[in-house]
Each structure stands twice: as structure tokens, then as C-alpha cells.
Structure 1
Amino acid sequence: MDFSNPTRHLRRVSILGSTGSIGTQALEVIAAAPDRFGVAGLSAGGRNLELLARQAVAVRAPAVGVASASETDLERAIGAAADAAGITGYAPELFAGGSAAAKVAAWPDADVVLNGITGSIGLEPTLAALAAGHLLALANKESLIAGGALVRAAAAPGQLVPVDSEHSAIAQALRGGTADEVDRLVLTASGGPFRGMTRSQLQHVTPAQALAHPTWDMGRVISTNSASMVNKALEVIEAHLLFDVPLERIDVVVHPQSVIHSMVQFVDGSTLAQASPPDMRLPIALGIGWPFRVPGSAKACDWTRPAEWTFEALDEQAFPAIALAKQAAAEGGTRMAVFNAANEEAVDAFHRGAIGFPDIVDTVSDVVDEQRARESAGAARGELSLEAVLEAERWARRRARVRCGLGEFPLQDPAADREGQKENP
């Protein structure tokens, strides 16, 4: 498809994780720009089947998928939603089961796939969208983190567009210079609900406190990851993979106001920063409309009103996740897949009351160390593939659950709680 003119074609967008905050805000962006966008497909985990059905009927999505419900359940829900809306004759293609999102991602009528799933279960849909040749607007950082070189090899130049606010900011700032002129990338972090606390103070924080993010309203996994700085650690690795900047030239700075979303420092001493009020509709619109901006996507800063922006160093002793992730990523292979999977299980254990808050990152470190030890003892890495990543994740989840005292087997559907993403504060 020719994307050289922003208004020449109607871009048809498939949204994965449509009932989560990224998905619902994407539908708002699309509805506000009917001359730019249409919906090709929707998929969701299935925790809110009625909402998925209402969304599908409202936009007449040609393809609809659900992970944790049957095709019959989905058909009934869509039928009920259509009846309630007075709609007749709507009969989309339906997909159900673990590969439903990947099938929607590969749906041939799409031009753009927005992957708003949370967690590494987004890897298969990411690869499916890339294989189908669609532009991939990626809000599912975990699939890039876990897939690493596998995803990079599958993506054609310009096919992968970031949607995370930090990486969208970097992509915008990078337009101000050539690749050779980039000195450093600087990702900003709000500091989360525990900014300024010591490691000993973190021993006593509760799950409710971890979910009380000062800037963003997010799902359980990402809110907890933001509180532990694991989310920022993953964003550092994502920036490395997206923009091909060495890990040692990617920094994190705490910026509590969350107005500067990230910065690029150039070799001549100039720094370009992208600023906007915290609103995910802006990077979503830019992601699905890339490289063109969509007028009216979000409100701009009011430069006539006094404001104070502050920046401070991250306390790496209280929040060691970033250094741990950089080391794991530098080692390559499936190391970051293990990091991410162990973290997801540790987050679940924390919310079940099995471990304390600092134990989340400690568990990740222990499982990563165990993988290193296995390799030192002769365990072969093997060729990086989707199956190798999935097997490494299965192993990491078992080991993390054992270390958290939960046993080897999962206590929940792995597709659960996978649609939470950044929302407006």
C-alpha cells in the first residue's frame, strides 16, 4: 500500500486488545478521523466479551477474534449486541482460541495492525502481522523484548512503528538528525508511586499501593511494572531494538510531571525533547497514521500557563531492574524472554501475597542467574525461534513460581490481564 499521501487512502486498522485502554482509545482516534481510518479487525482476551461484541457491531469489523471464549459464545454475544443496536445482516469472520489474535493480525484486509496486548503472548500476533506485510504499530513491548532478534529479522525497514509514549517521542525527535549524529537516547520515567523510597521501605508496600500510579491509569501488570521500574527496564531494551542504539548509550531520568516523554541528545550538544500532556491518543494516532500526524489527536501544552518540570537521577539501588535488564539483553539469546516471563509470574505472586515487593525483581534476577548456570553447565542455547522463545518462557515461569512458593503450574489463564495499557491520568 502506498503511504506517501496521508489522505489518499483510508487506512484499515486491526486492533489487538481492543477492550483494553490502548484498544478503546484507538477506536476513539479512528472514530474522530473517519476520512483517515477504518477498522479491519478486532481481537481481545475475552474477559469483557460483551464490550468486544459492542465494539465489533459499532464499527462493523470484518474480522473478530477472542482468546478465552468459544466461537459460539462470540457469535451469540455479537448477535445480542447487533439486536440491541437494531443492526441486521452483520456477519463477521470469527476466530476463537489461543491463535485468534494472530489470525486477526494476519487478516488480509488490514493495512495497519495495532498490537495493544499486554505480555509476551503478543509475540505470535506480532510475527503474524509482520509476515502478512502489515505496518505494525507496536504497543506490546513484551513481544519485541521476548522475540528480540527474531522480531527484528521479521520486520522490513519502516514496518515497525512504536506506540509507547516514550518510543513515539524518540521516533519524533530522531527526525531532527541523522543516525550518525545521535549521541544518546534519554527515556523519562515518572518515578511511579514509590519515588524516593529506599529498598528497606519498599519491603512493606502493598499491592494496592503499587497500583496507585501518579500519572497513568493502567492494568495490574503494567502498573506494578511501573512501580518496580521493570516497565522502564523493558522500555530501555525496546529502544535499543527499535532504534539500534547501543545499551550503554541509553539513559533513564526521573521526570515526575510526565510532560517530556523522552529525549534524543545529539553529538553537537543539542537535545530534542517531545512534550505533550499525558494522553495516549497522541502516540496511538501517530502510530497508526505513521509517518503522518493526525490533526486534533490530543490537547497541546498551554505555554501561557506557568509550569515547573523537574528531572532527577534514578536510584538504582532501590530499583535495580534497569541494570539487570541491560545485562540480560547484552547476553542475547532467550535471556530477555526469561527475564520477562519470570517477572510476569513474580508480579502475580506479589498480588497473591506470596512475596514482597522487592522480591519481584529479586525473583527475576534469580531465574536469569539460573538460566546462566544451566548454560554454563552445558545446556545448549540452540537457534533462536518462536518455539525456543516459548520453551524458555515456560521454563522461566515454572522456576519463578517455585521460587515464589506457588508450585510449578500456573494458577490462572495465561491470557488473563493482558489488555491493560497506559490511559489518560
Structure 2
Amino acid sequence: MSVNEIITITIVLTAVFAYINHRLIKWPPTIGIMVLSLLFSILVVILGSSGSWVAEKVRQLVGAIDFEDVLMNFMLSFLLFAGAIHVDANKLKQERWPVLLLATMGTLISTCLVGGLMFYLFKLFSLNIPLIYCVLFGSLISPTDPIAVLGILKEAKIPSSLELKISGESLFNDGVAVVIFITITEIAKSGGAHIDILDTGKLFLREAVGGLFFGGVLGYIGYWALRSIDDYKVEVLITLALVAGGYLLADRLHVSGPLAMVIAGIITGNKVKNEVMSDITRDYLGKFWELIDELLNAILFLLIGLEMLIIKLNITLLCIGVIAIFLVLLSRLVSVALPVSLLRFKIKFEQHAVAILTWGGLRGGLSVAMALSLPANMYHDEFLLITYVIVVFSILVQGLTIGKVAKRLQPATAK
């Protein structure tokens, strides 16, 4: 299938599903598009045996797109920058400790807890998967995905302070999770037999700290470049180059591209927009990145739904996936409750913050992409199906009900 066909079919399907959702279903766009994409995938499976031209084209489309490569090496950079550019740095600073602990300590706790619980769950179903691989699964399913969270939070009317905690955590733990995933993958390649704590620590620090530092450098390069001109067309183009070129360079430097994009986005959305941009440029830049965010989110959730066509179904693994939903939610509860308990001594949290943070911790395309990146000898098929079950539940059930959950708790929740 040619690049032209891939792009054309993807855009047409996304537009059609977005239109149907807007006119008939009226769900948050990301959820509505994914649901229609899932239903369409089921229809394709049914039509597949009849040799339908549409079914065949869609199968070719899914087979031609490397979801992991498209998300991790292209979409993720733009989506993280687009999300971060609209974050208020002053408000984020007020929530820095909850965001920091949830994104780091919370992700590590969840990774270990999910890994341990999954190890015994697999044994219950007579599947002897080594603990190190179960922890690897924990690392890919633990992060709350900013791509899913930021899109859905716009529609869920939750208290602004909690929204900032959830969105801030998801932006940063995305980068942290990728670093943890890469680190554990390196350990798993040796079967966990030879773990060099010093080398592992160096890898983690290089990716995480290096990504944060590089993101700051990118942000100030953008600040310097944009300060010297006043032409919104050129300035928007510079931000595009900053994201595309910066993410590619981060990969070459072996530092965390996701963390770099978050920092660069926050600097651009606050210091750059407030200090060096004209009102016209600020308006165009904000609308441009908002449009990029909406378009890429729509395409991403279309692809998540269509990925069902390449996943190998297995009844045993489906059952494990359903049980894993509850284990992941339990792990999320613990990984939120512990940091919040530590911080309550110096920071006042909203009532029912733990409940809303737990239920608002959505999993999304990032988890699917990391599962797809696993080689066959690291239980690729098993982890992919289980991940897909959890992600679909997270987006459909949690995503559609987070607003209602927050509203039910609203009388006792601080605005």
C-alpha cells in the first residue's frame, strides 16, 4: 500500500467517524472515534471472509502502519508538546510536589506491584512467565497516558486543581515510564540474571535527567530564535522544527525525548508566549497547536481501534486481561494513596482526591505502543492482548465515567 493510500484512508476514516460521533453519539471525540473504530474493526472481521474490497483495504492499512513507530517516533513528540504548551507554569509550580511524586514514586510503585500481582495471576492460569517479564509488563501498563488523559479531561468537568494534578502527572510520568521501560527491557534481555545496579542507575539518570536538561536547552533555543522576529508564520514553523528536530536529536543523544518535549513545551507556552510574542502570534500559535493536538488525537484513537485487527485472540489471555483490569486499578490506588499520604502533612488535597486520581488515571496508546515494541521472546503476543483489554476498558469505561464520578463527589470536593 502506498504512502498516499495510507494517509488518505486514515484521514477519511477519522473524518467520517468524527462526524458520526459529533452528530449522533456526542461522546468526547477521542472516545467516540475509538468506539466507532472498534465497531468498524469487528465489521471488517465479519466482511473479511466475503472478500470485501473495503475490508481488504483496511486490513492492508493496519498491516502497513507500524503503530509503535508512528506513535513513539512521530506522534508522541507533537502530542506532548501540544499538551505542555497549554499548561500554566505558575499553577503547575503550586502542584509540583504531587505531580513529581505521582510521576516518579507512583509509577515505580505501580510497576513493581503490577509485576508481582501479574506473576501470581499467570501462575494461577498455569503460565510460567518469569518475574522480570511481569515487571516489564508493569512498566508499560502503569503510566497514565497524557494522550488519553488530556483529550478526555477537556470534556470531564472536574475541579481545576485535580485536573492539573492528573494532567501534570500524566505528562511527566509518560517520560518517566518510557525510561523505566527501557531500563527494565535491558535487564530482561539478560533474563534478569546479571543486574548491574550502577549501570542501570546510569542508564536511568542519563535518560531522565538528560531529557529534562535537553528540553530546557530546546526551550531556550526557541526563546532566543522567536525573540528576534515578529512573523507568526515563521514563528509557528520554528516551533514545529523545535519539536521534530529536537525529538530526533534526543533519540540520537540517548536522552528521553518525551521528557524533553514536555519541558520545551512548558517553556514555550509560558516564558516564550508571555515575553516575546505579539498578540497575533500568540493567538495563531495557540490555535495551531490546539488543532494539531485534536487532529493527532483523533487519528491516534482511530488507530488504537483498528489495531484489534492484528491482535491474536486467546480465551485464556482474555480472561487474564479482564482480571488484570482490577489488579491494575488496585495498583493505581496504592500508587496514588501512598504519595498523597506522605504529602498530606504539608499539602492540602481535595476531598476524594485519591478516588478521582485513581479513576482518572487512564491508559492509552503509549501502553499499546510499548507492548507492540516487545520482541516475540519477551511475551509480545501475551502482553499485547492483555494491554489492549486494559486500555480499551480504561478509555471506554473510566474515560466515559470520570466526569460522573467527579460530579458525584463534587459536593465534597474543593473547586
TM-score by length of 1: 0.29
More strand as a share of residues:
1
TM-score by length of 2: 0.29
Higher relative contact order (CA 8 A, sep 6+): 2
More helix as a share of residues:
2
